[in-house]
Amino acid sequence: MSQIQQLYRLQQMDTEIRQKKQRLTEVLRAQRETEALLAAREREKTAVSTLKKWQSSHNNLSLELGSLNSKAKSAENRLYSGNVKNPKELTDLQDQIAAMGRQRGGLEEQMLEAMIMIEDAEAEAKAATEARTVEESQWQQAQADYKEEQNTLALRLHHLLGLRPKQAAQIEPKLLQDYERIGQRNGGEAVAVLKINRCQGCLLTVSANKVKEVVEGQVTHCGGCGRILVAV
Ligand SMILES: [Zn+2]
């Protein structure tokens, strides 16, 4: 195998290493929790806390109503006990009972509102939990696939990185330096395939003389892109 062909093989290796590293970065990035999953969790958290707020509000109103009812009950007992003779006190008691009745109406109205809010909040919490569950299971399924791809990529990269120094050692240092230098200007592609008489790096037509040199295995640069030409 000519030096140029060895160089071309090195480039194929380098290209694969570059692509696999790039894909590995993407795969690692994709294993972070998605925006959709975070949003679904946030929605569920808000829904649950809203539900708790209304449940606690309903409980407090219920306690308040209970205590009001027992106060009203004892006022009524006293009113009808026959023990209160003073007309002023009787009128006061009647007024208090009436006031408590109005207060009870207000509390009952608030409780009804809380009940409606609880129903809405329960429906939202249920929907939010379902949405989060779906999002989480999709994410987990994707994780399993990514994990598998990550392992395959890591194994292949490990293999290639082990081979690369051996392949580079096959090439004369001067040619290897040219390869690095030309590669830096051309996105890592220092070697271009010559197809009939055309450079596949920049699609320029190459002179018959150069084609002959390439076929003979001499180091020949494309006049268009400067890459080292290889016949395959
Ligand atoms: Zn070219």
Delimit the domains of the chain by residue range.
Answer: 31-168, 173-231
Instruction: Please tell me the predicted confidence (pLDDT) of residue 171.
Output: 96
Task: Count CB neighbours of 61 within 10 A.
Answer: 20
User: What is the distance in A from the centroid of ligand 1 to the CA of 193?
Assistant: 9
User: What is the distance in A from the centroid of ligand 1 to the CA of 126?
Assistant: 63
User: What is the distance in A from the centroid of ligand 1 to the CA of 201?
Assistant: 5
User: What is the distance in A from the centroid of ligand 1 to the CA of 165?
Assistant: 27
In the chain (232 residues long), the average pLDDT of successive 10-residue segments reads 93 97 96 94 98 98 97 94 92 96 97 98 98 96 95 98 97 96 94 96 95 94 96 90
Instruction: Please tell me the predicted confidence (pLDDT) of residue 202.
Output: 95
User: What is the distance in A from the centroid of ligand 1 to the CA of 202?
Assistant: 4
> Which class in CATH covers the domain with range 31-168?
mainly alpha
For residue 168, what are the CA distances in angstroms to 7, 144, 160, 214, 228? Answer: 8, 36, 12, 21, 16
User: What is the distance in A from the centroid of ligand 1 to the CA of 35?
Assistant: 44
Instruction: Please tell me the predicted confidence (pLDDT) of residue 78.
Output: 93
User: What is the distance in A from the centroid of ligand 1 to the CA of 2?
Assistant: 20
User: What is the distance in A from the centroid of ligand 1 to the CA of 198?
Assistant: 8
Instruction: Please tell me the predicted confidence (pLDDT) of residue 46.
Output: 98
Q: At what angle do helices 3-30 and 87-168 cross, to 10 degrees?
A: 170
Instruction: Please tell me the predicted confidence (pLDDT) of residue 1.
Output: 81
User: What is the distance in A from the centroid of ligand 1 to the CA of 232?
Assistant: 15
User: What is the distance in A from the centroid of ligand 1 to the CA of 3?
Assistant: 19
User: What is the distance in A from the centroid of ligand 1 to the CA of 55?
Assistant: 74
User: What is the distance in A from the centroid of ligand 1 to the CA of 178?
Assistant: 15
The CB-based long-range contact list for 219-226 (8 Å cut-off, 24+ gap) reads 219/3, 219/4, 219/175, 219/178, 221/182, 222/192, 224/199, 225/186, 225/192, 225/199, 225/201, 226/182, 226/185, 226/186
* R_g (Cα) of the chain, nearest Å: 41
User: What is the distance in A from the centroid of ligand 1 to the CA of 215?
Assistant: 16
User: What is the distance in A from the centroid of ligand 1 to the CA of 166?
Assistant: 28
Amino acid at 43: R
- Nearest Cα to Cα of residue 76 among 47, 51, 96, 53: 96
User: What is the distance in A from the centroid of ligand 1 to the CA of 184?
Assistant: 15
Task: Report how far residue 140's alpha carbon sits from residue 200's, in angstroms, rounded to the nearest whole number.
Answer: 43
User: What is the distance in A from the centroid of ligand 1 to the CA of 206?
Assistant: 8
